[in-house]
Structure 1
């Protein structure tokens, strides 16, 4: 017996962040340079124009990830 999704194939599953306050009314992350503004310790990468034109590309996502991780580590170290 194979596992099947309970959602019809043409629907989108709700985001695991739904209800966390991390997303705006349009479903987009609320952030500044990739760091969630309402949820401390949460970061995002790969979004269009997150920090610059290349943020959504393979060329830019690595730089954004480094930036987000550096800021998250600084926040955790307090």
Structure 2
């Protein structure tokens, strides 16, 4: 059973991933932030920590936290002008 603190952390991780997707944040920075929080509150050797380590893109992180619909909605509705992969 997941305790209250774990649920709170998962909500915070989801929030970090949501903001990272919205602002097209660097995946390395996002992973670093989440991994530091996991290391402080838990252990990176747990399945969630290993999944974060394996994630290569924001899309991978979105799938991990069940935010893939949000990821594609943001990417398809309006590519951000500061997205270096966006070509006019």
TM-score by length of 1: 0.31
Larger radius of gyration: 1
TM-score (normalizing by structure 2): 0.28
